[in-house]
Amino acid sequence: MPEFGYSFVEYNEVSDVRGSLREVDISPKEAREVANYITGMSLDRAKQVLEEVINKKRMIPFKRYHKKVGHHNVEGFYTGRYPIKVAKYFLKLLENLESNALYKGLDVNRLIIIHASAYPGRKLVRYVPRAFGRRSPKKHVYVHVEAVARVI
């Protein structure tokens, strides 16, 4: 069984709470954009925003991975999408974060997300048959998602 660490270094045991999802089957690029979007929000506000994304009421601006993405005027940026599957997993992550905060005895209404990250995890390699007896690798990437909130 592998032991996973956290990417956030300045963790305070008293006022911080963290949560993570490991090897989730979502797009790493979309997960990075959602993590970047919810960083700095309160926990309640982030959950509300993710619910709006799932219901297609709010778009997530795509600031880095925006090639071949349709043009929309999304909060001052010109491209955006509705990453519904990613938003569902991030909602699970925030519920995990909230339950960890309740376990530690922290005030859930005062939690601010100070760090959210998504980075590639394990790669599953399969092979696709090609002509003349050859084969090509088909790589599937799993994603590690984590978040840290602080009582302010």
* Rounded Cα gap, residues 62 and 70, in angstroms: 10
Name all domains of the chain by residue range, CATH numbers in brackets.
Answer: 16-151 (3.90.470.10)
Banded pLDDT at 1 (limits 50, 70, 90): low
Strand 60-61 to 71-74 pairing:
unpaired
User: What residue has token string 């043009």?
Assistant: 71
Q: What is the pLDDT of residues 71-114, one digit of tens each?
A: 887 777 888 889 999 999 999 999 999 999 999 999 999 999 99
Q: What is the pLDDT of residues 7-63, one digit of tens each?
A: 888 888 899 999 999 999 999 999 999 999 999 999 999 999 999 999 999 999 988
Taking only Cα atoms into account, the Rg of the chain, rounded to an integer number of angstroms, comes to: 18
